[in-house]
Amino acid sequence: MSSGTGSRDLSALTVGFIGAGNMAFAIGSGLIKQGVLKANQVIVSATNLENLRKRWNPVGVTNTTTDNSEVIRKASIIFLCVKPHILPAFRKSIEGKLGGVDCREKVLVSVLAGVKLDRLKAEFASLGINHVRTMPNTPMQVGAGCTIYSEGFEPNCPTAVRDRYEDIKFMLNQLGLAYEVREDQINGITGLTGCGPAYVYQIIEALADGAVKQGAARDQAIRMAAQTVMGAAKTVLETGKHPAVLKDEVCSPGGATIHGVHELEKGGLRATLMNAVEKSANRAKELQ
């Protein structure tokens, strides 16, 4: 896990978000809810100002714009949260608008799936901005995310850039777990951390459906399924026990649980989840 878990004073920091979709909102709103940033430290840009304000104003963010270059001018850390195929259009949107802006101590934090640091450096070479590549996930909005990241700084980058990197690591760790990895690992792990929440939501829904079939009320079944998954996950993290050991602790000989586990094995649950991670990872690689 990152070493950036200590206390840091970010009160003088302005953090920008370019693209205001689900991931940007998960990170931005999470930082505000966790008290890491105040809403007035955040600036966000998107193409539709009305939708932007509708989503971000309720969490206190009023510094909104349709001008991407404004975010780069005002923020020292900028989260780039557009879709990968929009990257060239984004670059064009800021061309000729940043004259006189010194970006050498700014950091662009990319959340673009599959887009390598080398490409980011090439796209924004004229700015002289610094780059960090990340793959966060949406549970960051409730402080329970899991992020992987890798920096692409030049050896002679200013000390201020290293300070910003510590700020970034600190922020990511306040929103869950954050791991620094080699860049060549990011696409593969994306299939787990970036896409994994969607798989778990399906599992929660399926567990709830099973309970509804047995007569449980829908709203209660969903909450009970979510709590069961959260409790199991927390047990893994806090006990440090292997999931297989914890599974065995629940399965009494000839009991109800082992009969259910047998059905999961017959249905290929583990192989299906492994295949899902692999498919998502392969797709991330195709996007680069």
DSSP 8-class letter at 104: T
CA within 13 Å, CB half, 167:
25
**Has 18 been labeled as part of a binding site?**
yes
**Has 19 been labeled as part of a binding site?**
yes
Beta bridge partners of 271: none
**Has 224 been labeled as part of a binding site?**
no
**Has 20 been labeled as part of a binding site?**
yes
Determine contact, residues 1/173, Cβ cutoff 8 Å.
Answer: yes
Q: For residue 192, what is the enclosing H or E element? A: helix 183-193
CA triplet 18, 78, 43: central angle to 5 degrees? 60
**Has 21 been labeled as part of a binding site?**
yes
**Has 274 been labeled as part of a binding site?**
no
**Has 48 been labeled as part of a binding site?**
no
First to last CA, the chain: 26
Determine contact, residues 102/78, Cβ cutoff 8 Å.
Answer: no
Most distant CA pair in the chain, distance: 73
Annotated binding site: 18-23, 68
Annotated binding site for NADP(+): 18-23
Annotated binding site for NADPH: 68
